[in-house]
Copies of this chain bind each other. A is one copy, B any other.
Amino acid sequence: AGVMAAWWRGTRALLLDVSGVLYDSGGDGGGAPIAGSVEAVRKIKASGLKLRFCTNETQATREKFVQKLQGFGFDISVDEVTAPAPAACRVLRERSLRPHLLVHDDVMPEFAEIDRTNPNCVVIGDAADNFTYANLNEAFRVLIGLQNPVLISLGRGRYYKETDGLKLDVGAYMKALEYACDVQAEIVGKPAKMFFESALAELGVQPQQAIMIGDDIVNDVGGAQRCGMRAVQVRTGKYRPSDENHPQVKPDAYVDNLAEAVDLILQQL
C-alpha cells in the first residue's frame, strides 16, 4: 500500500469490470458473487467516489444483466453500466450502418431501434449457441458481398470460463471472419479507446482522475492505461500468475480482489 499511495491521490472515480471482479459467471446458473465484492461496491458508493461498471458482456441486455447482479446483492442500476451493445448502436447511427447481427438472442433487444434492412455491415458479439455453422456462413456471405466490408465486434476476448468449462469468446469468431473476408474488425468495447472515453465522459472526469479495476491484463488494464487512466489488476476471475510477467502490460498495482483494492484506495483518499 505504501508504494501505491503516491499515485492514487486525486482519484475521483472508479471504473469496475464486472465478470471476474464482482462475480464469477457460470453456465446456466448465472454464477456467484466474489467474496467481499458486494460490500466493496457499497463502500465505494458511500465514499463519494464516482463509479461506473464497464463490461464487455454481450450475452444479455443491460436490464437482464443488472437484474442478475442485483440478485447477488449488488447496488447497481442500468444507467451506471457502460456496455458494448449500446456503444455499437451509437456507432451504427452515426455512420448510417444497417447491421446484420450475429449476437446472443438475449442482447437482441438492445438493437430494437436499429434499421436492419438491406445490411451494409456485420456486428458480431458473444453469440454462444448462435455460433452455428449456418449462422457463421450467413454473416460471412453478407460481409464478403459488401463493396466496403465493415465488421464491428463487441469486444475481442479469446475465451472465458464458465462453471461447465472454458468457452470461446467473440474474438475467436471475429478472427475467423477477418481471415475469410480479408478485413480488420472494428472493436467496440474494451480495450477500444473510444469505449473507455465514453465511460469517462459519462462520469465527467479526466483519465488521470480515474482508476480501472479489472481481471483482464490486456482488455481492462492495458486498454485503460492506453487511455491515460491508472489500472489495478485483481487476482480473481481470469487472472493467471503468468499475467505478472506480461511482456507489454504492467498494472499500476495488483490486489487479491476488489475488496482489497477498495480498502487500499479509500484509506488514502
Contact = CB atoms under 8 A, between A and B. Distances in A.
Interface of A: 128-133, 136-137, 140-141, 144, 158-159, 165-169, 171-173, 175-182
A92 B107 CA distance: 43
Counted per complex, copies of this chain come to 2
Contact of A175 (B128, B158, B175): B175
Nearest to A129: B133
26 contacts: A128-B133, A131-B136, A132-B132, A132-B133, A136-B168, A136-B172, A137-B167, A140-B166, A140-B167, A141-B165, A141-B166, A144-B159, A158-B179, A158-B181, A168-B176, A169-B180, A171-B179, A171-B180, A172-B176, A172-B177, A172-B179, A172-B180, A173-B176, A175-B175, A175-B178, A175-B179
Contacts of A180: 158-159, 168-169, 171-172
Question: Interface of chain A, helix or strand or loop or mixed?
Answer: helix
